[in-house]
Chains A and B, each alone.
Chain A
Amino acid sequence: MFRSRIAALVVAALAAVAAIVVGVSLVLPRPAPAPAPEAAPPASAPPASATTDPPAPVSTPVGRQDAALGAQERAAVDEPVAVRLPSLGVDLDVVPVGVRDDGQMDVPLLVSEAGWYRYGPAPGAEAGNAVLAAHVDSDRGPAPMAVLLDVEVGTEVEVETASGATLRYRIDEVEQLGKETLPLDEIFARDGDHRLRLVTCAGDWDPVAQAYEDNVIATASLIG
C-alpha cells in the first residue's frame, strides 16, 4: 500500500513535469539559431508589413542555397603529411588512402607510412575522427607503429599538415579490440567531438585469415 502510494506520487510528479514542459514549449517561441535579425537583416528580407498587428513571433526563415551545378564548393582540406610520436622516436609519412575492393581501409604497405582515411575528417577538423592507420609489422619484423602496442596514455602525438602547420594531440585512451567486435562506426565517426585515432594491428596472427585478431586504437585529443 505504502509502495503504491509512492508510485502514484512519482507518476503524478512526472506527469506534472511533462505537462509543464509541454505547456512551456508550446508557449515559448522557437529558438532561432541564426544571427539575430536586428543585428544583420538579410538583404532579401521582405519589408515588414505595417498592417500586421500584433507582430507575430519571428520565426527564422529556413536556410536555402543555390542548387546550381558547381555552386556547392567543397571545403578545402589541409591534408596531413606526417605523424610523429616524439617521445618514442616515431616519425611516419602520411599518405591519403581510401578503401580496398573488399571494403576495408587501404593501409599503406610501406611501414614507414601511415594512411589517412581521406573520406573522413582530417586532423584538425571541426568534428569527427581523423583516422591514421599503419602496419604493425612487415614480413621482416616489427614496424614503427608497433609502439602503439604499449604506448601510454598522455603520450603526445604531432601531426604535420600540407600547409606546414603542426597539430599537437595527447593520447587519452588506448584500446585493444577484437576485429569482430570493432566499433567501426564510432572509430570512423564523421561527427561528434574531433579526435585523432591511430590504428594498428595486435593480438595473435591468424594464419588462415592472414590477419591479426585484434586492432589497437589510440585515441588522442587536440591540445594545440
Chain B
Amino acid sequence: MKRTLTLGTAAVVALTALGASPALAAEDDATVSVLHAVPDLTVDVYVNGEEAIPGFEPGTLTDPMPMAAGTIDVQVFAAGDDPESAEPAIEASGIEVPAMANLTLVAHLAEDGTPTLAAFANDTSEIPAGQARLTVRHVAAAPAVDVRAGGSPVVEGLTNPDEASLETAAGTVAADVVLAGTEDVVIGPADLDLAEGVDTIVYAWGSAEDANLALAIQTVDAHSAPSGVPSGLGGAAGDDSAAGIALAIAGLLGLAMVAAVAMRRREAVAAQRR
C-alpha cells in the first residue's frame, strides 16, 4: 500500500511537469495572438526571456499561439538588438494568462505616443446564428473617437486603450472613425466584412500627429448552429394519405371528442368482455 502511494506521488509530479511544459499543448492552455501596432518600428518580441517573434513588422498579427496558463513577461526590442545589453522599447511583466483564455497582446502607442503593451481578452462566447460580432479597440495615439457604421455612430467616446463590442447582422458595413462628437473623419470610410459567427476585431492604431492612423483587423471564430430546421408544412409527408392540415384541425377542435369516443368504445369493449 505504501508503495502505491509513493508511485502515485511520482505520477502527480510527472503530470505537473507536463502541465508546466510550454512545448506541449494542454487542454486548458490559453490562446495568445500578438498584434504589432507601433508604427515604423520592426521589433523582436521576447516572452519570458525567449525570443518568440523575431523581425515582427508593424501592422502584422501572429497566428494564435497555445500558451500554458500563468503569468508572462514580455519584452519588445528594436529588431536585432541584443536583449542582454539593449533597452527594450516596451517591457511588461506579470501579464496574466488565464487558463482557456483567448488573448491578444497589442504592442501599441498610448494616447500620448509612448509605446506600450496591452492585453485584451477576446470574446469567444457563441454568436447567435446569422449574426456577427464587432469589437473596436482604440490603440492609437489619438484622442477619443466615435466609430460610425453607414454614417451613424455605433460606438461613441472610445478612448485609448479601451474597447467596445456589439452584435449585428452579418454583412458588410461602411465604417469610419471620427473625433468624438465631431464629423472630422480620421480613418476611413472603409468596408468592413462582418462574417457570420465571427468576432471581427478592429484596431484603430497609429498616430494622429504623424498622420498614419489606420485600421488593423483580427478575426476570432465564435459561431453557433441554427436552432432548428423547420422543413415541413403539415401537408402529410407521404406515409399516410390523410392530409396534415385536416389532422391539425381535427387535433385542435376534435381531440377531446375523439378521446371521449375512444373511451366510450373501450368501456363498451370492457362491458362486452364482462
Contacts and interface: CB of A to CB of B under 8 A. Distances in A.
B203 interface: yes
Given A119-B197, A139-B234, A215-B231, A67 B35 contact: yes
Interface stretch (B9-17, B90-98, B156-164): B9-17
Interface in A68-98: 68-72, 74, 98
A212 B230 CA distance: 8
B66 to A, nearest CB: 11
A182 interface: yes
Contact of B15 (A18, A65, A215): A18
Interface residues of B, number: 70
Interface in A166-185: 179, 182, 184-185
B150 interface: no
Contacts of A190: 223
Interface in B224-274: 224-239, 243-245, 247-249, 251-252
B156 to A, nearest CB: 21
B185 to A, nearest CB: 15
Nearest to B187: A69
A212 to B, nearest CB: 4
B180 interface: no
Contacts of A25: 18, 21, 23-24
21 contacts: A8-B3, A22-B18, A26-B21, A46-B54, A61-B54, A65-B61, A67-B35, A72-B217, A74-B195, A102-B227, A103-B128, A105-B129, A119-B196, A135-B232, A137-B233, A141-B235, A142-B238, A184-B225, A205-B234, A210-B248, A211-B232
Given A15-B8, A25-B21, A44-B55, 11 more contacts: A18-B18, A30-B23, A67-B203, A67-B217, A98-B196, A104-B227, A117-B226, A119-B197, A141-B243, A149-B238, A188-B226
Interface of B: 1, 3-4, 7-8, 10-11, 14-15, 17-18, 21, 23-24, 35, 52-56, 59-63, 65, 80, 128-130, 170, 190, 192-193, 195-197, 202-203, 214-219, 223-239, 243-245, 247-249, 251-252
Interface of A: 4, 7-8, 11-12, 14-15, 18-19, 21-22, 25-26, 30, 44, 46, 61-72, 74, 98-100, 102-105, 107, 117, 119, 131, 133-143, 145-146, 149, 179, 182, 184-185, 187-188, 190, 199-202, 205, 207-208, 210-212, 215
